[in-house]
Amino acid sequence: MPQSPEAEVSSTFYIAGLPVQLTEPQLSDLVSSYGKPVSVKMIRLRVAADHRVGIGIVQMSTRQEADRAIHALDARKVSGHYLYACWRLESAVTAAFTRSTGHEH
């Protein structure tokens, strides 16, 4: 039986604070320690005239794998950047803007 749209969404999570130089294959490698990534996308947001941040959109094969990845990656330091992993895109974008402007340490 095919998965419902809710099941697909429930295994998707977001990672803010990624280095903008990180590639999608590198992001896939980063999350593959916690399960099987089904889809991996990198977006880069300009938060100031001279500053960009990376946000990853990752769908794992199960919600349990996604949950494991979130718990392992949240607050982890990668290439000098602290990551923020969460279930909601809005939270990831807010974290990217907040952390990049220095309002959160």
96 in any annotated domain: no
Give how many domains the chain has, as a whole number. Answer: 1
Task: Tell me what the mean pLDDT of segment 15-30 comes to.
Answer: 95
93 in any annotated domain: no
77 in any annotated domain: yes
45 in any annotated domain: yes
Name the residue range of residue 80's domain. 5-88
What is the model's pLDDT at position 100?
60
101 in any annotated domain: no
18 in any annotated domain: yes
Q: Which residues have a Cβ under 8 Å from the Cβ of 58 and sit 6 or more positions away? A: 12, 13, 14, 15, 27, 31, 37, 39, 40, 41, 66, 69
Please state the pTM of the whole predicted model: 0.81
CATH number where 44 lies: 3.30.70.330
41 in any annotated domain: yes
Q: How confident is the model at residue 105 (pLDDT cuts 50, 70, 90)?
A: very low
